[in-house]
Amino acid sequence: MNFLGLSKNKTFKPKKNVPEGTKQQQLQKYAEATLGSGDLKLAVVLPEGENINEWYAVNTYDFFNQINMLYGTITEFCTPQECPVMSAGPQFEYYWSDGFKKPTKLSAPDYVDNLMEWVQHQLDDETLFPSKIGVPFPRNFPQLH
């Protein structure tokens, strides 16, 4: 178990996908099609006439899913014993501080587990990422991520 009470066997997958039959689902299909075209500039450009916040949300979900898949490929190799520190090279070490009074040193897998759970919580928060038709995004949505 990590600090958030998660089992190590937990697979990170958003609990809610883009709702079916919505503009967000259409945008997701568009994003998948343009990304598959090989033209990265086309893949990131807001489609004409579309809501920028919906575009951000769809791409945030997709990025999170892609990171989950990538992370899943290394979890068996990066164990707390093999990766006892979350770092970016020898000069930079990361400590987990969300919900703690004092930043806490964690192994790399525990740090990533906590980070992914924190992101999942943000994605599941209907006040940040509304999934119902007609519910507006927060005014400061672009600054939230």
Which pLDDT score is estimated for 12? 46
> Using only C-alpha atoms, what is the Rg of the chain?
17
pLDDT of residue 112: 94
Q: Is the pLDDT reported for residue 15 higher than 80?
A: no
Q: Which residues are known binding-site members for Zn(2+)?
A: 78, 83
Measured between alpha carbons, how far is 94 from 3 in angstroms, rounded to an integer?
15
Q: For 112, phi and psi rounded to 5 degrees? A: -65, -40
Model pTM?
A: 0.71
3-class SS letters over 9-35: CCCCCCCCCCCCCCHHHHHHHHHHHHH
pLDDT, tens digit, 9 for 90 and up, residues 66-98: 899 888 888 889 999 999 999 999 999 999 997
Letter for the amino acid at 133? I
Annotated binding site: 78, 83
What tokens were used for 124?
């599941």
- The tally of CA atoms less than 13 A away on the side-chain side of residue 16 is 18
Residues 6+ apart with CB under 8 A from 135: 126
Band of pLDDT at residue 17, cut at 50, 70 and 90: low
Q: How far is the C-alpha of 5 from the C-alpha of 94, rounded, in Å? A: 20
The DSSP 8-state label assigned to residue 96 in this structure reads E
Sorted by where each starts, the structural domains of the chain and their CATH numbers stand as 23-137+139-143 (1.20.140.30)
> What would the pLDDT profile of 19-75 be if each residue is shown by its tens digit?
666 666 666 666 666 655 567 777 778 888 888 898 888 888 888 988 998 888 888
Candidate from 5-9, 60-64, 141-145 with smallest mean pLDDT: 5-9
